Amino acid sequence: MKAKLALENGTILTGEAFGAAGETSGEVVFNTSLAGYQEIFTDPSYTGQIVTLTYPLIGNYGVNTDDVESTKPQIAGVIVREYFDYHSNYRARESLGAWLTRNNIVAVQGLDTRMITRMLRTFGSMRGVLSTADFDDASLLHKVQLSPEMVGLDLTHVVSCKAPYKWSDVDRTPFLLRPLNEGETNGRRFRVVAYDCGIKQNIMRRLTSYGCDVTVVPALFPADEIEKMDPDGIFVSNGPGDPAAVKTAIENLKKLIGKKPIFGICLGHQLLALAFGANTFKLKFGHRGGNHPVKNLLTQKIEITSQNHGFAVDPETLDKQTLEVTHINLNDGTNEGFRHKDLPVFSVQYHPEASPGPHDSDYLFSYFIEMMKSGEPMTAA
C-alpha cells in the first residue's frame, strides 16, 4: 500500500505503508538511536509527533511486552528507511508492523531518512501529514497548514492519568539496574508523589528500586492536595508539548517549592525553571537520541545521555542568586540541569532512567534520596 508524506516546506515524498491505513499529522522530528524503537514509540513525550528514525533498518527484533514506557504507542506516525517484517528475538511477541496496525499508527518505509534528517537540521522541525488515503499533493499541503503548531500547545492533558494511583510494578525492575537493599536505605521507604505530565514507566521503576513508594497524580493535581498527602519528596515527570503552556502546573509548583524536596526530569525540568521565573524556548530541531554528551559542572564528568525534548531552558533567565546551572549539553551548550542553592530542588533536561551510558546518570536518583533524607540541597558528593 502506498503512503505519502507532505512537509511544511512543500516537500512531498512517496513510500510504502507498513502500519495502519489512514492519515495522521504532527510535528516531524528525528531520533538518532540505534535501537529502542519500542521505547521511543511508547514514550508519551512523543505525543503529537511523527518520528523519523535515522537508523536504516527497523523492525528486526519485533515487539515484546516488556520494553514499553506506557500502555500504548504515543507517536502520531513513523518514518523509516527500511522496515523488516521477519523479526527475530526470543522475547518478541509480534512484528512491529502488526503492532502499529493494531494500535492504529500510520507508518511509512522507503523514504530517504538521511535527506529528511538533513532537511530538519537545516530548516528545523516542521509540521507534516502522512497519508495512505489522500495522494493529492495540494490537498496534503493544505492539511499541513491546518495542523497545530507545537509552540503554545499544552498536551499534558492528553497523556496524564485521570486520577491518582499507586505504582506497583516492582517485579518488572530491569535486571541490569540493581535495586538498593534495605541496608543501603536503612530500611526506610520514601513516599514520593510523582506528577504525571506523561511519565515513563521506567522512571517509576527506578524510584521504586531506590526504596520509594510512588503515588502518581495528574499533571494538574492541586498543590494543597499534595501537601495534605505529606510526601517525603515530589517528582515532576517528562511530557509533551510547550512547557510555557502548562500554566496550572507551573502555579502549583510555585506553591510547593520550599515545602518538600523536588526532582524534575525533561518537561519537569522546564516547568520548575518556569516556576522560578525563568524562560523556555523552542529548539530548532530538538534533542532526540541515546548518545548526547552532557557535562556535569559539579563533578566535571561527562555523561552519555538519552534525550527527547524540543524545548529548552534559557540559562540567562535563571536567577543566579538562588539557582546554579549544574549540567550543559556539549553539542550545543544548552542547559541540561540546575539546582537551588538553598532548597532541596534540582532538575535535569535528559533522562537518567534510560541506560545509554549505560548507567552514567543513574546517580541522580541517589541525589533525590539523599535530599529526602536530609532536607538539604543537592551536592556533588
The domains of the chain are located at 2-146, 156-374
Q: Which residues pair with 30 in a beta bridge?
A: 52
pTM of full prediction above 0.75:
yes
Average pLDDT, the chain: 93
* Cell triple for 81: 528507511
- Give start and end residues of each alpha helix (H) in 103-191: 113-123, 137-146, 156-159
Q: How many residues does the chain have?
A: 381
Catalytic site positions? 266, 351, 353
Is residue 178 very low, low, confident or very high in pLDDT (cuts 50, 70, 90)? very low
Q: What is the pLDDT of residues 206-221, one digit of tens each?
A: 999 999 999 999 999 9
Examine residue 293 and say whether the peptide bond preceding it is cis (omega within 30 degrees of 0).
no
DSSP secondary structure letter of residue 172: G
> Is residue 53 predicted with pLDDT exceeding 50?
yes
> Is residue 182 predicted with pLDDT exceeding 50?
no
Q: Note the pLDDT of residue 381.
A: 52
What is the DSSP code string of 253-312?
HHHHBTTB-EEEETHHHHHHHHHTT--EEEEEEEEEEEEEEEEETTTTEEEEEEEEEEEE
Is residue 174 very low, low, confident or very high in pLDDT (cuts 50, 70, 90)? very low
The candidate with the shortest Cα–Cα distance to 351, out of 28, 46, 116, is 46
Quick check: 343 and 263 in contact, CB under 8 A? Answer: no
Q: Which residue has the higher pLDDT, 352 or 170?
A: 352
* Cell triple for 123: 530548516
Q: CA–CA separation, 115 vs 121, rounded Å?
A: 10
- pLDDT-above-70 percentage for the chain: 94
The whole-number average pLDDT for the span 3-32 is 97
Q: CA–CA separation, 175 vs 355, rounded Å?
A: 12
Q: Note the pLDDT of residue 187.
A: 65
Determine how many CB atoms are found less than 10 A away from the CB of residue 34.
12
Q: Note the pLDDT of residue 186.
A: 55
> Is residue 249 predicted with pLDDT exceeding 80?
yes
Quick check: 127 and 27 in contact, CB under 8 A? Answer: yes
Q: What is the pLDDT of residues 253-293, one digit of tens each?
A: 999 999 999 999 999 999 999 999 999 999 999 999 999 99
> Is residue 379 predicted with pLDDT exceeding 90?
no
- Architecture in CATH for domain 2-146: 3-Layer(bba) Sandwich (3.50)
Helix (H) or strand (E) holding 326: strand 323-329
Displacement of CA 11 from its chain's centroid (Å) = 28
* Cell triple for 361: 546518570
The domain 156-374 is placed in CATH, from the list 3.40.50.261, 3.90.226.10, 3.40.50.880, 1.20.1260.10, at: 3.40.50.880
